[in-house]
Amino acid sequence: MGSQWGQDKTYLRAKNEGFRSRAAYKLMEIQTKFGIIRRDDNIVDLGAAPGSWLQIERTLTDARIIGIDLNPIAELDGIETIEGDINDPAVVEMVKEKLEVVNIVLCDASPKLSGHKSYDQARIIDLNEQALRFACKVLKPGGNFAVKSFQGSDFPEFYAKCKLNFYAVKTCMTKSTRKGSTELYIVAKNFIGPAVP
């Protein structure tokens, strides 16, 4: 963890407070600003490893939480996990079998970056599209969705797609994002449903 993120203040704070990554503070900030999660909400978390968002989610809802990742997620009390690809229809089916109602879909997934800006931007937007499709397949009308994205030439089109599917859509740059990063979150509330492709 240290080598990947650098031992900056946020990393050290996360370590001291028992969170699995510094990303914990991003979800806290999103929740404080937008109040997307309520106490009885079932949550599906896409790209959830190592699991700091799951730790925060556990404090925000008393209902069920499913974390999905390509990598295994080390056990967390009261959290169900699926090791798989969010683009795999079988994973969507597994979620539907486990949860009758999904109120919230969160996605902090990122692909492995190559360092080539335009190639990486395209892969990130592709992952964003996969997350949106996933959300539209499982969310109940009125549900909420938040997804990590990055500013770039493909961003406006993806943002517009979110606006077609949710009544209220905003962007949010969190304070714990590293300086100079183009990372931002789309927070989309009140799923219209059914999905617009």
Contacting ligand SAM within 111-130 (CB under 6 A):
111, 127
Q: Which of 14, 37, 42, 51 binds ligand SAM (CB under 6 A)?
A: 51
Count interface residues toward ligand SAM (CB under 6 A): 22
Instruction: Enumerate residues 6+ apart whose C-beta is below 8 A from 150.
Output: 121, 124, 181, 182, 183, 184
Label residue 160 exposed, middle or buried (CB < 10 Å: 0-12, 13-18, 19+). Answer: exposed
Applying CB under 6 A, does 85 fall inside the site for ligand SAM? yes
> Residue 69 has which token pair?
């990742």
* Least distance (Å) between residue 2 CB and ligand SAM: 15
- Is residue 117 part of the annotated active site? The answer reads no
| Residue 31 binds to ligand SAM (criterion: CB under 6 A) | no
Residues 6+ away with beta carbon under 8 Å from 124? 110, 111, 149, 150, 152
Residues 61, 87, 182, 190: which binds ligand SAM (CB under 6 A)? 87
Q: Hey, which residues does 137 pair with through a beta bridge?
A: none
Task: State which residue, 183 or 192, has the beta carbon closest to ligand SAM.
Answer: 183
Minimum distance from residue 125 beta carbon to ligand SAM (Å): 13
C-alpha gyration radius of the chain: 16
49 is an interface residue for ligand SAM by CB under 6 A: yes
Q: Are 56 and 27 in contact (CB under 8 A)?
A: yes
Q: Which residues are designated catalytic?
A: 148
Residues of this chain that bind ligand SAM (CB under 6 A): 20-21, 23, 47-53, 68-71, 85-87, 108-111, 127
